[in-house]
């Protein structure tokens, strides 16, 4: 049986007042987001914004040499495409699906029209953008000053916050590309976490066995991002029928 989705599974959409939902929801399109799908290329024109429900999208900066590093992750807490309502129309980063799943997409003009009403959506989008900037800034600091072990813990926790369960499907090579480090470093760090009983890793499947332990092993960067997101975005409760 196919899984059922609703726009309210995205916390931003769920937090909008009923009258705003009535204007936007008819224009939402349900779309699958398979692992590795590129939503935006660097410098490309954005025609839609994406509201993930059970998928995760990575915003990645790619250097001329081909080296890359993740600057933020977006899941059911937010949207992909803030440049559209900030007036940029494009971004130097690439948006690629890190964890496959589902999303709703909305044509750019409908988002702009609602944003320009200077109502609830504008306030919510700006607060979300501040939370996203915090995540980007903290990621930069973390990548510069903290160990690969700590970076991996932060990355796993941020991903878990955006998924319904405690499992991720992710190869060590892909994690290394996201963190901008060597694969050997990720292999060693993941091995340490597995020996401590915090995670179980097998052929691209990561199961978090001890989330509290993962938080203790992480640097302060995860807590900073989580606290700021919770402060800025008092999301409405989401009812999920299982």
Q: Using one digit for the tens of pLDDT, what is the confidence trace for 74-98? A: 999 999 999 888 877 778 889 999 8
3-state secondary structure of 49: strand
24-81 pLDDT, tens digit per residue, is 999 999 999 998 899 998 888 889 999 999 999 999 988 888 777 888 999 999 999 9
Helices then strands, each counted (H, E), the chain: 10, 10
Residue 133 forms beta bridges with which residues?
none
Within the chain, all domains assigned CATH 1.10.10.10 are found at 147-218
Cα of first residue to Cα of last residue in the chain, in angstroms, is 13
- d(CA 66, CA 201) in angstroms, rounded, equals 28
- The answer to whether residue 163 scores a pLDDT higher than 80 is yes
Contact 79, 24 (CB under 8 A): no
DSSP 59: E
Give the CATH superfamily of 7-142: Jelly Rolls (2.60.120.10)
Measured CA to CA, the distance from residue 96 to residue 118 in angstroms comes to 30
Looking at the chain, which residues constitute the CATH 2.60.120.10 domain(s)?
Answer: 7-142
CATH 1.10.10.10 given to domain 147-218: yes
The Cα–Cα gap between 48 and 98 comes to: 19
Sheet holding 56-62, edge to edge: 38-40, 94-99, 56-62, 68-74
Asked if the model's pLDDT at residue 131 lies above 80, the reply is yes
In the block, tokens 């405690």 appear at 166
> Is the per-residue pLDDT at 189 higher than 60?
yes
- Per-residue confidence band for 236, with pLDDT thresholds at 50, 70 and 90: very low
pTM: 0.87
pLDDT given at position 235 = 59
Query: Who has greater pLDDT, 186 or 192?
Result: 192
Nearest to 158 by CA among 70, 100, 226: 226
Q: Strands across the sheet with 167-169, in order?
A: 167-169, 205-208, 199-202
CA-wise closest residue to 221 among 99, 135, 111: 135
The residue assigned the tokens 């700590």 is 150
- Virtual torsion, Cα 74, 80, 85, 89, nearest 10 deg: 130
């Amino acid at each position: 049986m196919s899984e059922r989705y609703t726009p309210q599974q995205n916390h931003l959409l769920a937090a909008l007042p009923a009258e705003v939902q009535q204007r936007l929801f008819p224009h939402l399109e349900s779309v699958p987001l398979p692992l590795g799908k590129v939503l935006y290329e660097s410098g490309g024109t954005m025609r839609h914004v994406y509201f993930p429900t059970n998928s995760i999208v990575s915003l990645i900066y790619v250097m001329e040499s081909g080296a890359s590093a993740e600057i933020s992750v977006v899941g059911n807490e937010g949207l992909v495409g803030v440049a559209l309502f900030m007036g940029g129309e494009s971004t130097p980063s690439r948006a690629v699906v890190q964890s496959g799943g589902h999303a709703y997409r909305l044509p750019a003009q409908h988002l702009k029209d609602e944003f320009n009403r200077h109502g609830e959506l504008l306030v919510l989008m700006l607060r979300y953008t501040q939370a996203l900037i915090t995540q980007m800034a903290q990621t930069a600091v973390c990548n510069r000053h903290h160990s690969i072990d700590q970076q991996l813990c932060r990355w796993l926790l941020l991903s878990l916050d955006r998924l319904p369960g405690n499992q991720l499907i992710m190869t060590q090579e892909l994690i290394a590309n996201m963190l901008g480090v060597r694969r050997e470093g990720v292999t060693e760090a993941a091995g340490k976490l597995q020996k401590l009983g915090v995670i179980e890793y097998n052929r691209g499947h990561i199961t978090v066995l001890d989330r509290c332990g993962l938080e203790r092993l992480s640097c302060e960067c995860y807590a900073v991002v989580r606290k700021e997101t919770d402060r800025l975005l008092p999301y409405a409760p989401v009812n999920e029928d299982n």
